[in-house]
Chains A and B, each alone.
Chain A
């Protein structure tokens, strides 16, 4: 059966619309507020939510997401609590959920157990930042057995050979990194994304979402003709950081503002 992620892409495609994908750190600022954030984003029309699993050594993240991970860990947002959070979200929403993690917490939990518990909690797939396609065989096998999506990253530095492997192992969609560097808000989008998308399309017919550094409506407008979706992370996470009392309401407003002019029918 197709995951909620795949179903959502199909719906979007049918009505010729783009996907707005939001990243938030699970458990930031705490599990209960974070659950509200996810539900509010779903309500605001966010198509897919990437739920970050915090890790003590986030080597691919800039300061905004690093701090979010620290807040989440301080409040006990470990993998079992996050899977329980997904279960709670599923009582209220069918928004597609992609778990976004570094490898070690998943390894420690066990690949097979992770896939089993992810699917039973209601998650739809995962992206593991520091798991390269070369090392991913066991993980992909366990995830596929449970019918979960495996999203991999494509980077401007990826060679043709690598893009081919990324395309082969990805299901649901491919996440294209806009430019080399860590996550974080930037004023201008790099020009490296256009050639990357052109190269990537040779190897995949999956939808492509572009992420890293996307924070303004102009960025989304710029990307709308190029990609099927965009990922906004640090901008949402920074909004949560700035509004610890009522993050759900604030972040939903930000998402609505960003969606305007990008999605056909912003809610």
Chain B
């Protein structure tokens, strides 16, 4: 399970630890603390209790009958991470890392956030466990996810606007890293996706793999067999790797990650790293990134703030190159339409991030008669009401 750790967090050629020297030993300490915690039954037990009684695990695997009928092909199951406390899968990772931070004796949690879901989950865990909390958020994201900004403040966190560059997730991560390197003594950087320098991609994957583990049991109970296809949206890729990881060894289970196609495939108009990107180093990890010919990081666009980022988690880069998983993209317009479709067929309003996965289901399900699909409904759409109201003009 931990074999990657001994290889300095490599997933094939991807991953690694590319950080300024000042952060290198703190990352080594974090790795050691995480490995010790993950083999300590009392840590796992405390996390399990919180996941069950505080976050609301296990989440249901719901057969979406009307959606399946509408498509006329595959039987479509939704893994209901949207039902978790705080409204998205992000809480799984935040509870795990929050307990780790407490174990390491830190007093202050910092985090970046795009859509605000990770920021809300971090602020929540900070309140629960008694940490001081600072969240970095791009000004563009603060405007488009206003409600989440207020939620974080209500939970007692300080939200710091980031005004550099494209003023979205990329700049928020840079600013959080600057805070961390300046306040190493008392501060724990609670990175929200399966990104960044080792051990973050490994650790975040491990805290999210419960999604796939539950799914395996639930689908076998419901269908008597494994699913034919798993579908998840991919920003940094934590919800996707959380679902996929448990099934990587089951060759008969196909996997599709859906990136943000934005407004089109010109550089700057999307966040589809596997379409328009190439290998490079951003924020401490070697992976597929969107960059120009001079190695400068490109700006990105997506209607969904949570997918609007120039790098993808390194484990996805490995799954992409080995062709174990397929990666595609979905436009802003298709995601908005899918959000409406799911809302009106099932009474479930997905987050715009998750709507990208739903859009791919709508494309693939019709011809897939007799097949079983599982889509990770990673978050709920409450935070997106203002964008939906503006875009859908109902």
Contacts and interface: CB of A to CB of B under 8 A. Distances in A.
Interface stretch (A7-15, A57-65, A230-238): A57-65
Given A78-B294, A105-B295, A59 B174 contact: yes
Contacts of B284: 130
Interface residues of A, number: 39
A107 B281 contact: yes
Interface in B258-301: 280-284, 289, 291, 293-297
A141 interface: no
A131 interface: yes
B182 A108 contact: no
A202 interface: no
A213 to B, nearest CB: 11
Interface stretch (A24-32, A154-162, A246-254): A154-162
Contact of A58 (B28, B174, B184, B281): B174
A128 to B, nearest CB: 9
Interface stretch (B17-25, B57-65, B369-377): B17-25
Interface string A150-168: 0011111111001000100
Contacts of B178: 59-60, 62, 182
A55 B296 contact: yes
B296 A56 contact: yes
Interface residues on B, range: 20 to 34
Contacts of B296: 55-56, 73, 78, 104-105
A182 B297 CA distance: 20
A2 interface: no
A180 B182 contact: yes
A215 interface: no
A131 B18 contact: yes
B327 to A, nearest CB: 21
B184 A157 contact: yes
A56 B165 CA distance: 8
B174 A57 contact: yes
A264 interface: no
B181 A181 contact: yes
Contacts, number: 111
B214 to A, nearest CB: 36
A177 interface: yes
A187 interface: no
Contacts of B212: none
A79 B294 contact: yes
Contact of A152 (B21, B28, B281, B282): B21
A18 B293 CA distance: 40
Interface in A90-116: 103-109
Given A104-B282, A109-B295, A135-B17, A155 B8 contact: no
A181 B170 CA distance: 19
Nearest to B284: A130
A60 B20 contact: yes
B177 interface: yes
A34 interface: no
Contacts of A156: 22
B49 interface: no
Given A105-B294, A105-B295, A158-B24, A134 B174 contact: no
List 9 A-B pairs, minimum CB-CB distance, nearest first: A108-B295, A105-B295, A155-B22, A153-B21, A181-B182, A78-B294, A155-B21, A60-B20, A56-B297
Interface of B: 8, 16-26, 28, 164-165, 170, 174, 177-178, 181-182, 184, 280-284, 289, 291, 293-297
29 contacts: A56-B296, A57-B170, A57-B174, A57-B283, A59-B20, A60-B22, A60-B178, A103-B281, A104-B281, A104-B295, A104-B297, A105-B294, A106-B295, A107-B280, A107-B295, A130-B281, A130-B284, A132-B17, A132-B18, A132-B24, A134-B16, A135-B16, A135-B17, A155-B21, A159-B28, A177-B21, A180-B181, A181-B181, A181-B182
